[in-house]
Chain A
Amino acid sequence: MASADEIQKQIEELQNKLDSLKKNARQKIDKMSSEVKDSNPYSRLMALQRMGIVKEYERIRTKSVAVVGVGGVGSVTADMLTRCGIGKLILFDYDKVELANMNRLFFTPDQAGLSKVDAAAKTLNFINPDVTILTNNYNITTVDSFTKFLDAIKTGGIDGQPVDLVLSCVDNFEARMAINAGCNELNLNWFESGVSENAVSGHIQFIKPGELACFGCAPPLVVAENIDEKTLKREGVCAASLPTTMGIVAGMLVQNTLKYLLNFGNVSNYLGYNALIDFFPRMDLRPNPQCDDSWCRQRQVEYQAKPKEEKETEVEEVQEVVHENNDWGIELISEDNNEEIKPNAPMASSGLKHAFEAPVASQQSNTIAPTVSDDVSLEELMEQMKSM
């Protein structure tokens, strides 16, 4: 048993630690200042304005971004946006911090066991108390949670409007398709991001419903690593990860987010990263008129109906991109003929490939006829299954 004196001493030590933590936290700042002094956390960001890179940098405080998935890419993404002084961040994840995550950036071992969103919010608030951070601890792919997710991004803007951008930092196809469905329906722009399971490539993809291919328009486009499938050992593990690849992909994601939100430079529609040869392929992806997602098709019709001028200004921007990219021998899709990438078209020259073959429209022959009889009720079927 510890003596009363020892306990008293421990209390004092803890009190001192607590005081020093409080002292280190900074106060909120009402207005971003461009004054160059050690105590101004925004001076280097505001310098972007002085140098003519960004007009009115402080517009970033009026922007709200949803980050779905706060893992290796999402946590670093949220960290970067927080340091850039974003107005509001809405975090989504249903996972807990684990020691197995420590090969990635951001989280620390003492946070093991905490929910990722709560642990992240605490660190982010400490880094920059000016950012409003909301947390959502659920799996967006389930029916009930998906409704909550839609509400959160529909009303998550600074003024109750929809969020300015959704960033997908999830690690699975199901969640990406859920974000895709939600953003097509709500007509929200979003970025998809991904790192390959072998950790040596990644990509970001900008999705503007109706204008750029949605995530369901074709099988996912990924970086071709040219690793012989036979030499790729998948036995025994699901996925590898590196803090480097994740950090680079998060950097690509946030860089393009800043360019989009603050209107500077060219936003990449698709940017890949092949870590083995340090290659960054770029690409434009047009929507598939036969996309399975009915909201995607609807958004395509709306986009086509838009006044020409509005579209032309956007075309100009992209043409600049075409010029830049040709130096690297990357094939781009021409803007004028509005041709979409054929799901199985060879893309070897681009350094990209589809993750899997597109579904074939033809019927399969090896099937037995489905026996859908309307005279049985669902309850009867449930009962029959239960009694087997």
Chain B
Amino acid sequence: MVDAGTKKTLQNIPLLQTRASPRDKDLWVQRLKEEYQALIKYVQNNKTSDSDWFRLESNKEGTRWFGKCWYVHNLLKYEFDVEFDIPVTYPTTAPEIALPELDGKTAKMYRGGKICLTEHFKPLWSRNVPKFGIAHAMALGLAPWLAVEIPDLIEKGIIEYKEKGETSNS
């Protein structure tokens, strides 16, 4: 199941209360505020524990999210664009987090660079609707994925370290 480290991380991310999708006009604004508060707290936690690993922002409707995530391997920082849409059935269904530049480079992805989640993710997410939000999806979905896949992709020579200033598109 979920490892002890992830569990601790999750426990320190505020839980959300409002069950609302982008189709629920006013309630969605309330949900969005909760999302941002949870994300801000999570990033603060990461900074405090010296494990800062992503930044996200959204369009003003909060339906489309984008940003960067990074992974440090052998003291080198590998950075990737991250993006996803909030599905109409959110928060019943989790967002499908994508790293478009890695599309086609690993079998652990669906079309468009959507990461392939572990079999534990969906049951855990569904048990925690509507309390889990974007921050939880990042901690429970993307973080473990990067930890497994990135070292593997580096070892296989599929991704290479880029100096600062270079574009991340290969």
Q: Is A bound to B?
A: yes
- Residues of A participating in the B interface, judged by any CB pair closer than 8 Å: 95, 139, 141-143, 146, 172-174, 177-178, 180-181, 216, 219, 234, 236-238, 292, 355-357, 359-360, 364, 366-373, 376, 378, 381-382, 384-386, 388
Shortest beta-carbon distance from A381 to chain B in Å: 4
Residues in B neighbouring A355, C-beta threshold 8 A: 122
CB distance from B89 to the nearest CB of A (A): 4
A141 touches B88 (CB 8 A): yes
- B89–A219 touching, CB < 8 Å: no
Complex contacts, B96 vs chain A, CB 8 Å: 172, 174
What's the nearest-Cβ distance from chain B to residue A4, in Å? Answer: 42
A378 touches B56 (CB 8 A): no
CB-nearest residue of chain B to A237: B107
A373 to B, closest residue via Cβ: B37
B11 adjacent to A141 (CB under 8 Å): no
Assess whether B92 is in contact with A368, with CB atoms less than 8 Å apart: no
The dominant DSSP class at the A interface is: loop
Assuming the A-B contacts A143-B88, A370-B14, A372-B33, are A381 and B57 also in contact, with contact meaning beta carbons closer than 8 angstroms in the complex? no
B119 at the interface (CB under 8 A from A): yes
Report 29 cross-chain contacts, Cβ distance below 8 Å, ordered by A residue: A95-B111, A141-B89, A142-B63, A143-B88, A173-B122, A174-B87, A177-B87, A178-B88, A181-B88, A216-B92, A219-B123, A234-B119, A237-B108, A238-B110, A359-B126, A359-B127, A360-B127, A364-B131, A371-B37, A371-B41, A373-B37, A381-B33, A381-B36, A384-B36, A385-B36, A385-B40, A385-B55, A386-B57, A388-B47
Closest to A292 in B: B92
Cβ of B122 and Cβ of A356 under 8 Å apart?
yes
| A-B complex: 4 closest residue pairs judged by Cβ atoms | A356-B123, A381-B36, A177-B89, A238-B116
Query: B5-40 interface mask toward A, CB cutoff 8 Å, 1 = contact, 0 = none?
Result: 000000110111100001100000110111011111
Q: Are B119 and A370 touching (Cβ within 8 A)? A: no
Binary A-proximity of B69-103 (CB < 8 A = 1, otherwise 0): 00000000000000001111100111010000000
How far, in whole Å, are A238 and B103 apart by their CA atoms in the complex?
13
**Smallest distance from the beta carbon of B39 to chain A beta carbons, Å?**
6
A382 touches B58 (CB 8 A): yes
Note all chain A residues with C-beta closer than 8 A to B146: none
Given contacts A95-B111, A174-B96, contact A357 B127 (CB under 8 A): yes
Q: Let me know if B139 is at the binding interface, CB within 8 A.
A: no
Which residues on the A side are within 8 Å of B12 (C-beta)?
368
Chain B residues near A180 (CB, 8 Å)? 89
Please determine whether B89 and A178 come into contact, CB atoms closer than 8 angstroms. Answer: yes
Q: Does B138 contact A (CB under 8 A)?
A: no
New A-B pairs, 15, CB < 8 Å, besides A139-B85, A238-B116, A372-B34: A143-B22, A174-B89, A174-B94, A181-B89, A238-B107, A359-B126, A360-B127, A364-B128, A368-B15, A378-B29, A378-B36, A381-B40, A382-B36, A385-B36, A388-B44
How many A-B contacts if CB must be within 8 Å? 122
B43 at the interface (CB under 8 A from A): yes
Bound form: Cα–Cα A180–B92 in Å: 12
Interface centre among A141, A216, A373 (most CB of B within 10 A): A141
Q: How far in angstroms is the closest Cβ of chain A from B3?
A: 15
Query: Smallest Cβ distance from B61 to chain A, in angstroms?
Result: 8
Does the CB pair A385–B33 fall under 8 Å? no
Min Cβ gap B96→A in Å is: 6
Residue among A142, A360, A376 with max Cβ neighbours from chain B (10 Å): A142
Q: Contact between B88 and A142 (Cβ–Cβ < 8 Å)?
A: yes
Q: Which residues of A contact B128 (CB under 8 A)?
A: 359, 364
A residues within 8 A CB of B62? 378
Which residues of chain B are within 8 angstroms of A369 by Cβ–Cβ distance?
14
| Max chain B Cβ within 10 angstroms of own Cβ: one of A356, A370, A382 | A370
Q: A237 to B44, alpha carbons, bound, how many Å?
A: 34
State which of A366, A378, A384 has its C-beta within 8 Å of the C-beta of B40. A384
A149 to B30, CA, bound (A): 26
Task: Flag B99-140 by CB within 8 Å of A: 1 or 0 each.
Answer: 000000001111100001001001100111101000000000
A contact residues around B37 at 8 Å (CB): 370-373, 376, 381
Shortest beta-carbon distance, B41 to chain A, in Å? 8
What is the bound-complex CA distance between A139 and B40, given in angstroms? 29
Q: Which residues of B contact A378 (CB under 8 A)?
A: 29, 32-33, 36, 62
Contact of A370 (CB < 8 Å), options: B34, B44, B89, B111: B34
Q: How far is it, in angstroms, between the C-alpha of A38 and the C-alpha of B39 when the chains are bound? A: 67
Contacts of A146 in B (CB 8 A): 23, 88
Cα(A142)–Cα(B128), bound, Å: 22
Rounded to whole angstroms, the CA-CA distance of A177 and B88 in the bound complex is: 9
Q: Which residues of A contact B60 (CB under 8 A)?
A: 382
How many angstroms between the C-alpha atoms of A366 and B109 in the bound complex? 32
The docked-state distance in angstroms from the alpha carbon of A174 to that of B117 is 13
In the bound complex, how far is the Cα of B94 from the Cα of A374, in angstroms? 25
Docked-complex contact A236 and B33, CB < 8 angstroms? no
Q: Are B16 and A370 in contact (CB under 8 A)?
A: yes
> Nearest residue in A to B36 (C-beta to C-beta)?
A381
A119 to B56, CA, bound (A): 37
Check if B17 sits within 8 Å of A372, measured CB to CB. Answer: yes
